[in-house]
Amino acid sequence: MNRLNPLYIIALFATVLFLSFYLLKNEVSTYNDKNTQFNKIQVKAKEFKEYKAYWNNEQYVNKVINQILRNSLFKNAKVLKAKTNKVLKIKVQSSDSRLLNNFLNKVLNKKLIIKKLQLEKEFVNLEIGLK
């Protein structure tokens, strides 16, 4: 039986060592990619939870709309407000276009789900989602 050359054994160990470090490097980069993806998803989940808390909160929507409509600017306007199980319908009628513009600016700057928006010269018709 012939003896194995020690250089062949050293070369085999060096190849196995090189291959294991290469595979380890690939797994570390894959782990880092998955970790960054997880962090992004976690941030988006927190944002979604915050939006859901505002948008699906019927009390919040009613409070915001009532605050806007209680403003002294809208006392001269004719405001109709109707609530269904999923939608809050608001119609503001006025001949003053600045008043309608002001109302629209206040509503659009809030975190609300606007399902329908109809603009005319004399009125603004708005549907806000509750659920």
pTM for the whole structure: 0.60
pLDDT in tens, the chain (131 residues): 578 888 999 999 999 999 999 999 999 999 999 999 999 999 999 998 887 777 777 888 888 888 988 888 888 888 899 988 889 999 999 888 888 899 999 999 988 888 999 998 899 999 998 87
58-129: CATH topology is Gyrase A; domain 2 (3.30.1360)
C-alpha closest to that of 112 among 80, 90, 79: 90
